[in-house]
Amino acid sequence: MRAIDDAGVEVVLARPAQRIVSLAPHLTEQLFAIGAGNRVVATTDFADYPAQARALPRVARAHSVDLERVAAARPDLIVIWGSGFPPATLAALRRLDVPLYVDEPSSLDGIATSMLRLGRLAAAPDAADEAAHFRAAISRLRDRYASRREVSVFYQVWPQPLMTLGGRHVLSEGLRVCGARNVFERLAPIAPQVSMEAVLAADPEMIVTAEPGGIDRGALSVWKPFAEQRAVAAGHLVTIDADRINRHTPRLADELAVLCERIDEVRRSQARVKSRP
């Protein structure tokens, strides 16, 4: 069993992984999706989907790993989100002398590739089907929306400090699939900090944020006083489901479909305004 991970390292196993420590919620979800969930022996905080994942032991939290508990789980494979932990943590995990797979999808198709690679390492029965279904779902969205009138979007990751997505982020590609444009797509960092003045100057047609469960918790209320802004004037302040859109899993395609439809509502709204006498 072998696969090259997103760090460019070839991971080689003598036999399919039987005891996997998964150090990211999205990796745990992927493993369950491809039929290898019963091999996961430990995971990290916030790995809450599917329901079976909630019962797994926790050996890590945001930016930190309990190395002793990882070793005690006797893994034959560790899978980790590369951006989720500092380089020193990855180095410490490598010293455990357990095969380590680093996951860092840089595109929507990279999510399908990740499932295929994990499938090879775990001989997971559903990996090929899940990857194909994900690719087909993204293709359908692209075919339906990508050529429609472009809508400018500001994606708010965090309100204070104000953070957004750069052009290299997977969700910037997702916006392009929907026929939209991230107003800060030219910024190089994955999640750059921006000023409120820069957002106001960009005057996006739509402002989007994500919250767990898609519940509006008021994160976009800061924009409401700026009634002259196009997104505010038209009421295009949108909250989508963070648990689905922010994780590199099959569910991302489902929530991207929701986002595409909300973007299309902007087009329809503007078409109605233009059609008025």
Whose CA is closest to 170, among 236, 63, 83, 80? 83
- Whether residue 274 has pLDDT greater than 70: no
pLDDT computed for residue 260 by the predictor: 98
**Which residue ranges does the chain devote to CATH 3.40.50.1980?**
2-131, 146-275
**Which residues have CB under 8 Å from 274's CB, separation 6+?**
none
pLDDT in tens, 40-95: 999 999 999 999 999 999 999 877 899 999 999 999 999 999 888 889 999 999 99
pLDDT in tens, 141-170: 999 999 999 999 999 999 999 999 999 999
pLDDT computed for residue 276 by the predictor: 60
Banded model confidence at residue 271, pLDDT cuts 50, 70, 90: low
Yes or no: say if 38 and 61 are a contact pair by the CB < 8 Å rule. Answer: no
Yes or no: say if 24 and 101 are a contact pair by the CB < 8 Å rule. Answer: no
pLDDT in tens, 181-226: 999 999 989 899 999 999 999 999 999 999 999 999 999 999 999 9
Banded model confidence at residue 178, pLDDT cuts 50, 70, 90: very high
Phi, psi dihedral angles at 228 (to 5 degrees): -80, -15
Q: In the CATH hierarchy, which top-level class contains the domain 146-275? A: alpha beta
Extract the tokens encoding 273. 């305004």
Q: Which residue has the higher pLDDT, 273 or 1?
A: 1
C-beta contacts of 252-255 below 8 A and 24+ residues apart: 252/108, 252/111, 252/174, 253/134, 253/137, 253/138, 253/141, 254/137
Per CATH, is 2-131 categorized as 1.20.5.510?
Answer: no
User: For residues 166 and 252, what is the distance between their CA atoms, to the nearest angstrom?
Assistant: 18
Q: How many CB atoms lie within 10 A of CB 272?
A: 9
Per-residue 3-state assignment (H helix, E strand, C coil) for 17-41:
CCCEEEECHHHHHHHHHCCCHHHEE
Residue type, 254: D
Whose CA is closest to 234, among 223, 245, 243? 223
pLDDT in tens, 11-51: 999 999 999 999 999 999 999 999 999 999 999 999 999 99
- Whether residue 277 has pLDDT greater than 70: no
How does the average pLDDT of the chain come out, rounded? 94
Q: Global pTM?
A: 0.91
Q: What is the DSSP letter of 256?
A: H
DSSP bridge partners of 238: 208
Phi, psi dihedral angles at 160 (to 5 degrees): -145, 105
Collapsing DSSP to helix, strand or coil, 252 comes out as: helix
